[in-house]
Structure 1
């Protein structure tokens, strides 16, 4: 199952794609469950792929963009 092209279109309100929003929402949920502690990347990836089909490379690219370490 590949990503739908519409999943990669930035939202006009904040510039986030659907996939980026899923990553951030999942990260927030896991941080709350862990009492505010950091979430390991592998754990985050495991939970994100329950919602959207991403390769590890795509996931790393999205994380890099969200933290500002990579250009779009």
Structure 2
């Protein structure tokens, strides 16, 4: 059975029962973790993270900042 666009959209915003994360939040955290590993634990510039997240999810830069705030991901204040 094919998944409709409406069902796909719901899957993007409904939190998973296991950990309360949405698919988009999980992707952001995964990409952040993998990029930090590539940078040997250094902080990941938001622009770099945004570019990599766009490979998985279509979102604006403002949306990414909202997700990062909700997830408690803090920058270095620059």
Q: TM-score, normalised by structure 1?
A: 0.85
In structure 1, the partner of 2:27 is: 22
Question: Does structure 1 residue 43 correspond to structure 2 residue 73?
Answer: no
CA drift at 1:68: 7.2
Q: How many residues align?
A: 67
Question: What SS does the corresponding residue of 1:53 show, helix, strand or coil?
Answer: coil
Question: Does structure 1 residue 66 correspond to structure 2 residue 71?
Answer: yes
Question: What SS does the corresponding residue of 1:16 show, helix, strand or coil?
Answer: coil
CA drift at 1:5: 2.9
CA RMSD of aligned residues (A): 1.7
Choose 1 or 2 for highest CA Rg: 2
Task: Name stretches of at least 5 consecutive residues in structure 1 with no aligned partner.
Answer: none
Task: Tell which has more relative contact order, 1 or 2 (C-alpha 8 A, sep 6+).
Answer: 1
Q: Which runs of 4+ in 1 moved over 2 A?
A: none
